[in-house]
């Protein structure tokens, strides 16, 4: 039996499962008919399956391996739009539309697919109404689900590669396996497992001394992958043949590093990873390992600067909840929390956070805009809630927007007071001048790039400067210069960045806390009064004021988020759990109402979660 028939003999059952899942409840004879028209295809890592602009002559179903789709931009550069993992269809749209291929698809590791040529496809549609309906239904489902489909599919085979000395890879794998096993089936495979399997088959060497052994190892790994949900490949601490195979065969590569050691490149990285062709190979995730009692990670920037990474994760491996977070990220079931901007109303985020924690809901990633970005940094610090609350209460005991400019050339408010508040709060909470990348949990904040007229998501860089960029309302607070660009409040483009969280690696569920007003405010005046009338009115007691109009600073803050507010409904649809605390009587500049606003947020959060608990079966 040749290599192809041997490989396919143990993957036939996997193909059957994929077809049943794709076509739904159809007659078994229909699936059998479809299988007679399928051709087995093998493609090596780095090879091209199809090119953008080519004629669509076939559709494919991925059986094992992983592929990546790229689309060319107007300037000729290419960006990744999605990954294709086992059980997914690729190339079918061209068969329906007769249009050229819309993307270039590359194999990022050795992959096996089945191919349905265009002629057989047309014949099946004409001869079998059930096949036609089932395939059409699948296309419609995919188009409808594209909005919520993650660009990065969950990995099946995950390699664990130590890049510093002293990493106990088997112990780390056992901890990760314990958490992943709560989600799905897991198999841990190292060189000893392969040696044992090959020895039982009468073959001695797992290092692939010849082409036959290499083929046998590839077949064995494919068989293991076909029979489980997740495979953890344990690489050696040296650039051995087995380590190289782990790097070639995986869907995602976790680089395990002791964060206390120097961030220099390991020989494995120089000899194996750096030599791969561009755009091929598994995504590399740096996993920085820390002691359990560490207040906050440090020096992350130096680690990231030396490596072409798809992301990084900070872990305390002896903490089960940290390993559970890694398991959720790898299984694409992680929970992301999105916090909207809204001035002082943003204290309600802390109240909702308390309600979530009281019910044991873990947050894995967090992001926000303006004051939501500040609260997101608090969440990502992973400090005890009591510590966070005390820090925030102390920080905002001073009005952050009270230092007005005598000559407002660029902004009404100087911004020096806000900078000082954020600097002291970050220092007290984290213990040093940290970057966003130093936070325990993945965190982003949204700013508006005035220079390029675009939205910008900040995930790295000085934490205070990044937060100032996100919170600097145009006209009210001075903008921030970042890499030669002028940045200001992110609410101009995206005050409730649920879409950004949806596209964050590992996210499966999104919780959103929106601060938009539930009811429009009606103004009971025919005309806007003059400046002197408004000034005199300001000196009256608040309860006796005649003009219910916002201050200039508050007006600027509200106008900034009007465009984002128009996107509220679409953002709400992208959330799995939505909060919108009733804060109609709270102004955006009422910083002195910290405890009241937090309490309102907590009461609303508890109410929403209690209703969900009652509705649950």
> In this predicted model, what pLDDT tens digit does every residue of 574-599 receive, in sequence order?
999 999 999 888 888 899 999 999 99
**pLDDT per residue over 227-236, tens digit each?**
899 999 999 9
Sorting pLDDT into bands at 50, 70 and 90, what band is 541? low
d(CA 337, CA 578): 10
181 pLDDT more than 90: yes
Read off the DSSP letter of residue 462.
Answer: B
Query: Among residues 190, 192, 198, 205, which one has the least CA distance to residue 159?
Result: 190
Residue 177 confidence (pLDDT):
98
**424 neighbors 460 (Cβ within 8 angstroms):** no
5 pLDDT more than 50: no
Residue 207 confidence (pLDDT):
47
Residue scoring higher pLDDT (440 or 401):
440
- pLDDT, average across residues 205-221: 67
- pLDDT, average across residues 98-114: 89
208 pLDDT more than 50: no
433 pLDDT more than 90: yes
Residue scoring higher pLDDT (520 or 469):
469
d(CA 564, CA 611): 28
Q: Give the whole-number percent of the chain exceeding pLDDT 70.
A: 84
- pLDDT, average across residues 63-86: 85
- Count CB neighbours of 164 within 10 A: 19
Residue 126 sits at φ, ψ, to 5 deg, of: -75, -30
Residue 201 confidence (pLDDT):
63
By the 10 Å C-beta count (0-12 exposed, 13-18 middle, 19+ buried), 617 is classed as: exposed
Residue 509 confidence (pLDDT):
95
- Residues paired with 284 in a beta bridge: 253
Which of 24-38, 41-55, 146-160, 539-553 comes out lowest in average pLDDT?
539-553
- pLDDT, average across residues 270-289: 81
d(CA 148, CA 160): 29
110 pLDDT more than 90: no
Residue 448 confidence (pLDDT):
92
Sorting pLDDT into bands at 50, 70 and 90, what band is 216? confident
Residue reference for tokens 């005035």: 450
307 pLDDT more than 50: yes
Residue 338 confidence (pLDDT):
98
Sorting pLDDT into bands at 50, 70 and 90, what band is 554? low
304 pLDDT more than 80: yes
Distances (CA, A) of 16 to 8, 35, 151, 473, 537: 12, 9, 25, 56, 76
Query: Among residues 467, 314, 316, 287, which one has the least CA distance to residue 377?
Result: 467
Residue scoring higher pLDDT (61 or 367):
367
337 pLDDT more than 50: yes
């Amino acid at each position: 039996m040749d290599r192809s028939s041997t490989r396919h003999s143990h993957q036939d059952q996997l193909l059957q499962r994929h077809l049943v899942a794709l076509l739904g409840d159809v007659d078994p004879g229909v699936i059998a008919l479809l299988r007679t028209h399928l051709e087995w295809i093998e493609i090596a890592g780095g090879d091209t399956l199809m090119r953008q602009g080519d004629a669509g002559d076939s559709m494919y179903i991925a059986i094992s391996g992983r592929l990546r789709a790229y689309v060319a931009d107007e300037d000729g550069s290419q960006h990744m739009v999605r990954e294709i993992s086992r059980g997914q269809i690729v190339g079918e749209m061209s068969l329906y539309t007769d249009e050229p291929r819309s993307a270039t698809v590359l194999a990022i590791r050795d992959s096996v697919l089945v191919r349905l040529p265009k002629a057989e496809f047309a014949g099946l549609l004409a001869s079998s109404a059930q096949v036609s309906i089932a395939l059409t239904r699948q296309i419609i489902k995919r188009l409808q689900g594209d909005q919520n489909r993650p660009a990065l599919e969950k990995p099946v085979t995950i390699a664990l590669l130590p890049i510093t000395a002293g990493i106990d890879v088997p112990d780390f794998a056992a901890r990760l396996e314990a958490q992943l096993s709560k989600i799905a089936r897991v198999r841990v495979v190292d060189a000893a497992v392969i040696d044992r399997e090959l020895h039982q088959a009468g073959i001695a060497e797992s290092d692939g001394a010849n082409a036959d052994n290499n083929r046998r190892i590839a077949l064995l790994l494919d068989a293991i992958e076909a029979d489980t949900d997740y495979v953890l490949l344990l690489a050696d601490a040296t650039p051995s043949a087995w380590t190289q195979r782990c790097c070639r065969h995986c869907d995602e590569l976790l680089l395990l590093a002791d964060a206390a050691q120097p961030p220099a490149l390991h020989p494995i990285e120089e000899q194996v990873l750096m030599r791969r062709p561009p755009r091929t190979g598994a995504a590399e995730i740096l996993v920085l390992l820390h002691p359990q009692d560490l207040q906050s990670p440090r020096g992350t920037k130096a680690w990231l600067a030396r490596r072409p990474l798809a992301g990084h994760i900070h872990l305390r491996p002896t903490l089960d909840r940290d390993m559970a977070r890694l398991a959720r990220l790898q299984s694409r079931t992680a929970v992301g929390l999105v916090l909207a901007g809204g001035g002082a109303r943003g204290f309600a985020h802390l109240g909702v956070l308390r309600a979530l924690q009281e019910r044991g809901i873990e947050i894995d990633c967090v992001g926000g805009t303006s004051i939501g970005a500040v609260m997101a940094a608090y969440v990502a610090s992973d400090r005890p809630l009591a510590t966070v609350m005390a820090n925030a209460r102390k920080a905002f005991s001073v009005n952050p927007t009270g230092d007005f400019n005598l000559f407002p050339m660029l902004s009404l408010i100087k911004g020096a007071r806000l900078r000082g508040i954020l600097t002291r709060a970050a220092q007290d909470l984290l213990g040093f001048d940290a970057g966003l990348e130093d936070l325990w949990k993945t965190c982003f904040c949204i700013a508006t790039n005035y220079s390029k007229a675009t939205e910008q998501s900040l995930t790295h860089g000085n934490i205070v400067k990044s937060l100032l960029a996100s919170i600097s309302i145009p006209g009210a607070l001075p903008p921030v210069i970042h890499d030669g660009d002028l940045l200001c409040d992110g609410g101009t483009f995206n005050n409730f960045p649920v879409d950004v969280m949806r596209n964050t690696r590992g996210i499966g569920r999104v919780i959103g806390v929106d601060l938009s007003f539930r009811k429009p405010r009606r103004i009971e005046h025919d005309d806007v009064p003059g400046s002197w009338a408004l000034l005199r009115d300001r000196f009256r007691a608040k309860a006796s004021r005649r003009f219910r109009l916002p201050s200039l600073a508050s007006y600027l803050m509200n106008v900034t988020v009007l465009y984002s507010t128009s996107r509220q409904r679409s953002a709400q649809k992208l959330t799995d759990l939505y909060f919108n605390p009733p804060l109609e009587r709270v102004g955006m500049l009422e910083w002195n109402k910290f405890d009241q606003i937090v309490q309102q947020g907590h009461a609303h959060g508890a109410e929403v979660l209690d209703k969900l608990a009652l509705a649950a079966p």
